[in-house]
């Protein structure tokens, strides 16, 4: 079933702040096998000009995708999440996410398309820090595959 | 932000050092925990097959995280990444054997842009198949 086009442009309220912990960054860096010292060593991060350890580029997805869950699970939108696959992902960074950040995400539905029975949903997540400064924008394209004929 | 690569030292076509990233079931369980993505298609073979996949597949975001390492290892400072985007074209299938899978990533400078930035185009394959499309990063060089 095609999704309701009137949801295009809808913006959801900002999330509660997510506090970025240095041990969470370390856990993520270890999980992707990345030994870059900027993720774990404050002095190494400072030598690169950062005030504290920074997070790997894709770390913020865990935060924006959780926020996008509000869109995905909006009963009025009616997306069948069991059929959803991740189509595209893109980030534009103002600065890297770093330990101690308290980040909020504001999600907006940018586009809804229907192609060959698949529903395609583009969600933009604007990430801001506690001071209200823009940190990064994440664009997530989700594809809900067409249901098989019964 | 201080990349160790200088804008004037690179040209369109400059190749970045290629890398191979092994991935097995333990890698995926660990990534699930670290990322909070516990979708069973990434650890439960029975479930993966029930939804029509050939086997357990890697998280797309895991592949995306590995691919950018070719760029961040090249420039040294991950904070110099200005933009990064990918299309997930094929899954990385991870069998439950002694080998798992390998993600092969290469990259080259595709364009020199303003403000000391360059666009790097990445190629990621597994088992001989492209797993990412439109995989591009914009990075600020010194």
Other CB atoms within 10 A of residue A110 CB: 15
The number of folded domains in chain B is 1
Q: Determine the Cα–Cα distance for residues A149 and B103; give it in Å rounded to an integer.
A: 35
Q: Determine the Cα–Cα distance for residues A15 and A12; give it in Å rounded to an integer.
A: 9
Is B1 within a domain? no
Asked if A89 and A116 count as a contact pair (C-beta separation under 8 A), the reply is no
Q: What is the per-residue pLDDT across B37-65, written as a single tens digit (0 to 9) for each?
A: 999 999 999 999 998 899 999 999 999 99
- The residue range of the domain holding B132 is 7-140
Q: Determine the Cα–Cα distance for residues A57 and B137; give it in Å rounded to an integer.
A: 11
pLDDT at A79 (0 to 100): 85
pLDDT at A148 (0 to 100): 64
Q: How many helices (H) and strands (E) does chain A have?
A: 3, 5
What CATH number is given to the structural domain containing B117?
3.10.129.10
pLDDT at A4 (0 to 100): 84
Average pLDDT over residues B81-97: 97
**Nearest CA of chain A to the CA of B17: how many Å?**
15
CB-CB under 8 Å, A39 with B61: no
CB contacts, 8 Å: B37 with chain A: 62, 65
Is B31 within a domain? yes
Size of the A and B interface in Cβ pairs below 8 Å: 104
CB-CB under 8 Å, A88 with B86: yes
Task: Using the structure block, give the residue that is written with the tokens 């439960």.
Answer: B44
What residues of chain A score a pLDDT lower than 70? 1, 148-150
**Nearest CA of chain B to the CA of A36: how many Å?**
8
pLDDT at A150 (0 to 100): 41
Task: Using the structure block, give the residue that is written with the tokens 């050939």.
Answer: B54
pLDDT at B51 (0 to 100): 87
Strand, helix or coil for residue B57: strand
CB contacts, 8 Å: A65 with chain B: 37
Options 3.30.750.24, 3.40.50.1820, 3.40.50.2300, 3.10.129.10; CATH of A7-21+59-144: 3.10.129.10
**Nearest CA of chain B to the CA of A1: how many Å?**
20
- ipTM score for this prediction: 0.96
Asked if B138 and B118 count as a contact pair (C-beta separation under 8 A), the reply is yes
Q: Which residue of A has its CA nearest to B4?
A: A48
pLDDT at B2 (0 to 100): 76
Asked if B107 and B120 count as a contact pair (C-beta separation under 8 A), the reply is yes
**pLDDT for B124 beyond 80:** yes
Task: Give residues with Cβ within 8 angstroms of B99, minimum separation 6.
Answer: B24
Parallel/antiparallel/unpaired status of strands A118-128 and B101-112: unpaired
What are the residue boundaries of the structural domains of chain A, listed by start?
7-21+59-144
Is B2 within a domain? no
Q: Which residues of A touch B (CB under 8 A)?
A: 24, 27-28, 30-34, 36, 38-39, 47-50, 54, 56-58, 61-62, 65-66, 85-93, 95-96, 139
Is B93 within a domain? yes
What's the mean per-residue pLDDT of chain B?
96
Q: Does the beta carbon of B69 lie under 8 angstroms from any beta carbon of chain A?
A: yes
Of A28, A48, A86, the CB nearest to B34: A28
């Amino acid at each position: 079933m095609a999704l309701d086009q009137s949801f295009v442009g809808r913006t959801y309220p900002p999330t509660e702040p997510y506090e970025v912990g240095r041990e969470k960054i370390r856990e993520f860096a270890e999980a992707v096998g990345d030994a870059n010292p900027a993720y774990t060593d404050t002095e190494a991060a400072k030598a690169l000009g950062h005030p504290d350890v920074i997070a790997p580029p894709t770390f913020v997805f865990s935060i924006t995708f959780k926020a996008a869950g509000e869109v995905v699970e909006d009963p009025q939108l009616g997306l069948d999440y069991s059929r959803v696959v991740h189509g595209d992902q893109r980030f534009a960074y103002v600065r890297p996410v770093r330990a101690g950040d308290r980040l909020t995400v504001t999600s907006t539905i940018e586009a809804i398309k229907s192609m060959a029975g698949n529903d395609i949903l583009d969600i933009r997540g604007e990430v801001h820090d506690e001071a209200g400064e823009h940190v990064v924008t994440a664009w997530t394209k989700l594809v809900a595959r067409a249901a098989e004929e019964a | 932000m201080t990349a160790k690569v200088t804008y004037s030292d690179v040209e369109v076509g400059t190749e970045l050092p290629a890398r191979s990233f092994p991935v097995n079931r333990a890698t995926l369980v660990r990534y699930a925990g670290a990322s909070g993505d516990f979708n069973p298609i990434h650890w439960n073979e029975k479930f993966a097959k029930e939804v029509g996949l050939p086997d357990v597949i890697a998280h797309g975001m895991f592949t995306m995280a590995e691919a950018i390492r070719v760029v961040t290892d090249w420039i040294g400072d991950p904070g110099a990444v200005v933009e990064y985007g990918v299309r997930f074209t094929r899954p990385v299938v991870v069998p439950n054997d002694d080998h798992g899978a390998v993600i092969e990533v290469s990259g080259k400078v595709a364009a020199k842009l303003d403000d000391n930035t360059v666009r790097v185009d990445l190629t990621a394959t597994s088992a001989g198949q492209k797993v990412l499309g439109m995989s591009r990063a914009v990075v600020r060089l010194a």
